[in-house]
Structure formats: structure tokens, C-alpha cells
Amino acid sequence: MNYSEKVMDHFANPRNVGELADANGVGEVGNPKCGDIMKMYLKIEEGIIKEVKFKTFGCGAAIATSSMATELIKGKSIEDALKVSNKAVMEALDGLPPVKVHCSVLAEQAIKAAISDYYLKNGIDPIPIVGRIEGCSGENAACYKELN
């Protein structure tokens, strides 16, 4: 399988790896077909993503897409982060092999799941803003919870 230099770089030297103890938005998504799991941690202040970290269990492409996704949203507004699509992640990495496109979809979903969690923690129903997200898991399956 041929990967771009950017994919190889983000796999070998991933950016923003780890957890944020003071994260106010945490999202976890997984793909049952391939077994990849992504967890994204956001520190949002005044509508801006000040810090972002991730932990990914998966293949090299999953790690590379997680790393690139964090780079694309760091310092951005929530609105801009929600516009980051799997296509944008793939383009930023100079492409992915067709069998690895699902990794970029997971990265997009992880961003949305973390933002959904942030909204829930602030008493805002995320579904009208973020929509429903496939593949959520863990205690922060914000995309499937409804505010009471």
C-alpha cells in the first residue's frame, strides 16, 4: 500500500498525542469493521479550541488521520472545526488509499463527538448543531444522548 509522505510523517511523528486532564469536550468513536478507536480531547474557551489531544488504537492511517485532524482544528472556532470533513483530512494528508478512507471518516466523527460532549456539558442539545454521529462509544456517546 502506498502512503503519502505526509501520512508517513503523521504516523511516525504524530502531533497532539495524549489526554487532556482539563478537557471540556471528549469524544470517542470506533469502527467495528476494522477495530480502530479514536478518542479526542478538546479544551474549548470562548468558542475557540485552545488545546486538542487524541489517543488512537488502530492502524497507521488511523493514527495519521487523528494527528492531522487535531492540527486542522487547533486554534479554530467550534464552527470552523465542525466544517472539517473527512475529505479535508485526506486532502491535508495528500490522500489515502481507498481501503483507508474510513480512517478519515473516523477522524471527522471524533471531532464531532468531542464537540457534542462539550455542548452537552454546557446544557446545549448538540444534535441540531452537530447532527447524529455513527460509531460513538464509551461514556461520552454524546451524539446519542438527548437532554432531558
**DSSP string computed for 10-41:** HHHS-SSBS--TT-SEEEEEE-TTT--EEEEE
The domains found in the chain, sorted by start residue, are 5-133 (3.90.1010.10)
Instruction: Using the predicted structure, report yes or no on whether residue 35 has a pLDDT greater than 50.
Output: yes
Instruction: Using the predicted structure, report yes or no on whether residue 145 has a pLDDT greater than 60.
Output: no
Instruction: Using the predicted structure, report yes or no on whether residue 34 has a pLDDT greater than 50.
Output: yes
Higher confidence at residue 121 or residue 142? 121
Across residues 56-65, what is the average pLDDT? Answer: 95
Maximum separation of any 2 CA atoms in the chain, in Å: 48
- CA–CA gap between residue 50 and residue 93 (Å, rounded): 23
The residues that are catalytic are 34, 103
**pLDDT value at residue 63:** 97
Q: Which helix (H) or strand (E) holds 56?
A: strand 48-57
pLDDT-based confidence at residue 148 (cuts at 50, 70, 90)? very low
